[in-house]
Amino acid sequence: MIRKAVLPVAGMGTRVLPATKVLPKELLPVVDKPLIQYAVEEAAEAGITEIVLVTAKGKDLLVDHFDRSPELERQLEERGKTDLLDIARSTCPRGVTITAVRQPAPLGLGHAVWCARPVVGDQPFAVLLPDDLILGRPGALKQMVDQWADTRGHLVAVENVPLEHVSRYGILDVVEERGQVARARGMVEKPRPEDAPSTLSVIGRYILDPVVFDVLERRQKGQGGEIQLTDAIAATIARVGLAGLRFQGTRYDCGTKAGYVAAIIDQALSHPDTAAAVYAHIQALNIRRAA
């Protein structure tokens, strides 16, 4: 089974500056929970027991978030705020170990994943990009782990995007579709619309065979002069195969301002502490606009 997951969190988050000038983008809250915690909880639900954070200089707060905070816990306990104390102690899911490794230079997503190799070892593993917040029941990674039991090899989460947006994603070259699963003979990183083999885009969830490490170790640069994870996957398809899973759930690209705001609104409308007030506010906005 899949027991280890890599979370590449070394990026600078420049698309949402100035919010990320000091604060890691993965700690941006969606209502009352940071993006990285959503990803960690999704991984835990899927049976992951060891998570590797690939960090960089200035990202120590990401590790701190999952550590104990004795002073905070002491104050909450003294004040009898047991409900908040439970929340403070539950940032790291029970049974999950979190390890941090450094990416010494921003050489691309593929290089970030390669930096986790000493911890991952030679076994299939998951990769989650916290920028992509996916809300569903069960979570997207749990759906993928269940599907991987049949497909094996490389399995990626996919969704169709407008043709004019394919240059933002890795795109599958599909040869067969059965239900939610699309088998592919290749994938292309950020193609021009006229060159795209499909509109089925890879988003931030992967289950990968460790053969990708053999290619990533060569440090060959691809699109944008970076070491691309997509290239390593494409180079090993002949050995282990590749399939895409159309997951059930809603995906928010929280690396963009619009996607991040949409995630906050939707979550606020489903959160028991905020739903009524936010819904009333939206209604009032609609009335003012109609007037």
State the first-to-last Cα distance of the chain, in angstroms, to the nearest integer: 58
The token pair at 48 is: 């992951």
The token pair at 34 is: 């940071």
- Indicate if 103 and 227 belong to the same structural domain: yes
- Indicate if 149 and 162 belong to the same structural domain: yes
- Indicate if 183 and 265 belong to the same structural domain: no
Find the helix or strand (DSSP H, E) in which 72 lies. Answer: helix 70-78
- Indicate if 125 and 195 belong to the same structural domain: yes
* H helix count then E strand count, the chain: 12, 13
Backbone angles phi, psi at 76, to 5 degrees: -65, -40
Q: Residue 289 has what pLDDT?
A: 85
Backbone angles phi, psi at 251, to 5 degrees: -110, 135
Count structural domains, the chain.
Answer: 2
Beta strands 4-8 and 50-55, pairing class: parallel
Q: Residue 247 has what pLDDT?
A: 95
Residue with tokens 């705001």: 261
For residue 159, the domain's CATH number is 3.90.550.10
Q: Which domain holds residue 111?
A: 4-255
**Distance (Å, rounded) from C-alpha 83 to C-alpha 97?**
24
Q: Strand ranges (DSSP E) for 229-272?
A: 242-246, 250-253
- Indicate if 159 and 245 belong to the same structural domain: yes
Q: Kindly list the averaged pLDDT for each block of 10 residues, start to end, along the chain of length 291.
A: 95 86 93 96 97 92 92 92 92 93 92 96 96 95 95 94 91 92 91 93 96 92 83 93 95 93 96 95 90 73
- Indicate if 173 and 136 belong to the same structural domain: yes
The token pair at 98 is: 């979190």
Closest of 151, 208, 204 to residue 180, by C-alpha: 151
The token pair at 74 is: 């002491």
- Indicate if 276 and 214 belong to the same structural domain: no
pTM: 0.93
- Indicate if 214 and 280 belong to the same structural domain: no
Q: Residue 290 has what pLDDT?
A: 83
- Indicate if 99 and 241 belong to the same structural domain: yes
The partner residues of 176 in beta bridges, in order of sequence, read 183
- Indicate if 228 and 90 belong to the same structural domain: yes
Closest of 249, 248, 11 to residue 129, by C-alpha: 11
- Indicate if 17 and 77 belong to the same structural domain: yes
Neighbours of 130 (CB within 10 A): 27
